[in-house]
Amino acid sequence: KADNTLFVKKFNKDTMYVQIYVDDIVFGSTNLSLCKEFAKTMQGEFEMSMMGEVTFFLGLQIKQMSDGIFISQSKYCNELLKKFGMEWCKEATTLVSNSCNLDLDEKGIAVDNSKYRGIIGSLLYLTASRPDIMFVVCLCARFKANPKESHTKVVKRILKYLRGTMNVGLWYPKGVSLSLIGYSDSDYVGCRLDRKSTSGTCHLLGSALVSWHSKKQACVALSTAEAEYIATGSCCAQIL
């Protein structure tokens, strides 16, 4: 029915997971012998090399420790700042000002949209390990068709915030309960252009964050309760 990328093998009381992305493969198991058997089988079928314990995968830095796993994109974040000439910028303690209300700014000064889109695209990839920047990056992405100086100012502040938080990432502790917990919220008529609300959700397995998103709702909510119901609906769909 679909092109599977995650494969699971259960053998007695042991489990093995194999994650495939194009020609990159990450695998692990509760039993080391299953990993060795899989590696031997794959190398017998295909021309491939073993890179050892995973430390870097698709731009994600993975640090495995005795009490858990830490995933970050500090190297990518540093390269992003260098690419857009912000590696020595002044740090910002917050992502955006409380008084900031972005709109089309039709009378504002136009800027190079290719550079603006480049920054937005790079930041969107960074949200793979940085849920803290998700809302503001998605908000700025709404103006990539015709960006103005006011939009660029907000995007640069995101980069300044990243300058001081490059080593922030996701922590997955060992031995936590696997209870699935979901949270949802919405900002009622938060968009100044079409008066639509934005849904935000996140999901945790125990204390480990595994899924998150921030997205403008498809319809205009007529009350705060309706906006919350739409956000809760998308949260429940992701849980299922």
pLDDT given at position 1: 63
CB of 26 closer than 8 Å to CB of 19: yes
Q: Look up residue 108 and give its two tokens.
A: 């504002």
Exposed / middle / buried, residue 199 (Cβ in 10 Å: 0-12, 13-18, 19+): buried
Say which residues have a Cβ less than 8 Å from residue 155's Cβ, sequence separation at least 6.
116, 119, 120, 123, 140
Q: What is the mean pLDDT of residues 25-49?
A: 91
1 Cβ contact list (under 8 Å, min separation 6): none
Confidence of residue 22 (pLDDT cuts 50, 70, 90): confident
**Which residues have CB under 8 Å from 214's CB, separation 6+?**
134, 135, 138, 198, 199, 200
Compute the distance between CA of residue 21 and CA of residue 103 in angstroms, rounded to an integer: 38
Q: How far apart are CA 116 and CA 140, in angstroms?
A: 10
pTM of the model: 0.86
Query: End-to-end alpha-carbon separation of the chain, Å?
Result: 19
pLDDT digits (tens, 9 = 90+) for 158-205: 999 999 999 999 999 998 888 999 999 999 998 988 999 999 999 999
What are the sequence ranges of the domains in the chain?
6-52, 74-164, 176-239
Residue 230 is classified by DSSP as: H
CA–CA separation, 224 vs 47, rounded Å? 57
